[in-house]
Structure formats: structure tokens, C-alpha cells
Amino acid sequence: MRLKRTAISAAVLAAALAGPAWAQQPKDWGKRAKPDVEDSVAKVDRPACPLCATAVDRVITAAAIEYELDTDYKVVKASFNVYPYVLTACPKCSYATYSANFHKELTTDDKKALEEGLDEVRKEFKSEWEIPISHVIRAAGASHRALKSEAGTLYEIYLLGSYLAREAADATAERDMQRRAIEHLVLAIEKEEKFQTPKNRYMAGEIHRRLGNYKQALEWYAKAKLGADELLTKIVTRQEAQTREAMDPKKPPKK
Ligand SMILES: [Zn+2]
């Protein structure tokens, strides 16, 4: 895509330096209404945003009972859907993090970094009181980049984003999230000991497969088999076969 010369502003340049641009404005993924479950399952409170002091609605959920998982560990069927509530974002300043940590105080340095790092997402988000789920993911990504969080945290935020995008049938945003997720997952596997597990290596393969990067998918699946338990070995073997089938140009790729 060619940008007109006049369209390049300092803000666009800053965004380009900060990381890849979002593919496009995501579709409406809906709002976060209070879940229709008992109070013992979801607790609602209204802590003050640690960055701008606005009172923000937050929902903290108990773990759901999971009945069915997709091959990238997205919960497909559960007693209720926790994904929209994992993160909380301030509608006023766009500071966003894990709901359970949202109320936690920020240091002066953190606040300074966030003021700079959230500039872009604030510009694209106009409403003051209703915050769409797609924006929560962007805001959390920008917040944790500003706070220099580890790659593993950003991976988890973008993986969650890919799940929520899939639920909203927003395929463009889903791929965008998956690209961000895989970029950070590979870094996390390199640098963070807790990410050096067969399951995470499998996830690297699985996200690559879903993005159509079959060669990388097979490389990661092979690495995942080292140290994998019986169940994971079974899953990896099945996904390897599916990837090879998709690579065969004579056959149309399966979903
Ligand atoms: Zn705020």
C-alpha cells in the first residue's frame, strides 16, 4: 500500500517505529456486559484507574468449567465465557491490564511511560465511556509495551485477542492478533524459562499453521514432540498430518 506524502505525520511515524500497524480498524466485537451468571461466579467492582483516577467497571470471574477446546487451546464450550473479562481497560485514558491487577498502583516511571505509550491508542479510540472489546486488547498491548513487560505477557494478550476476534468472526483481526502472538511467543520461548515447554512449542506450530506458514509449523511441531506427554504427542501428530495435507497442492486445505 502506498501512503500519500501528506498522510505521513509524526504520529504515523512513531507508530511505525513502535511496531507493525494494525491491519485495519477491527469490526465491532461487542461490549462487555456483566456476565449473566451468579455473583459467586463473577464479581463486579469499580476500582480507580491507577493512571487517571477514573472509576472503572471491572468484572472478576471465577474459573469456568471447560468442556471443549480448539486445537489452539481456545475454549469453545464452557460453563460461561470468561474471555471478555480477562482484561480491564480504562475508558478515559486507555490504560489496560489483567483485571485482577487493574487496581494496582503504578510507579511515577510507569505513569510517564504509559502517558507516552498510550498516545496512539487514545487517538484511535474516541468514546469516553463505552469501551469496545477490540480496543481493550489494543490498549492492553500498548500498556504492556510501554511498561516493558516480557514477551510472554504480550503473547498472552494477543492470543486472547485472537480468540475474541474469532468469536466476533473478524478474520482479518484474528490473523493480525495471531501474527503479534507468534512474534512474542517465539521471543518468550527464547528468553523466558517458563515458556520453554512442549505445549508452548506446539502453540508456536499451531499459530503458524493457522497463519498458513506450514514450513515453520512443521518445524515447531517437531520441537514440541520433545518432552511432550502422550496426549500432546497425539495432538501434535494429528496437526502435523493436517499440515502436510494442506501443503499438498492437489488437495484443498481443510479448516
Ligand atoms: Zn484511566
The pLDDT tens digits of the residues spanning 21-56 come to 555 566 666 666 777 777 778 888 999 999 999 999
86 CA to middle of ligand 1, Å? Answer: 17
Indicate whether 15 pLDDT > 50. no
14 CA to middle of ligand 1, Å? Answer: 22
Indicate whether 250 pLDDT > 90. no
Taking ligand 1, which is a single-atom ion, which protein residues have CB atoms under 5 Å away? Answer: 49, 51-52, 54, 90, 92-93, 95
11 CA to middle of ligand 1, Å? Answer: 21
210 CA to middle of ligand 1, Å? Answer: 35
Residue 35: the pLDDT is 73
Indicate whether 206 pLDDT > 60. yes
Buried b (16+ CB within 10 A) or exposed e, 70-80: eebebbeeeee
Residue 22: the pLDDT is 56
Q: How far apart are CA 212 and CA 235, in angstroms?
A: 18
Q: How far apart are CA 155 and CA 179, in angstroms?
A: 10
C-alpha cell at 154: 504480550
Q: Which residues, at least 6 apart from 2, have a Cβ–Cβ distance to it below 8 Å?
A: none
State the chain's mean pLDDT as an integer.
Answer: 87
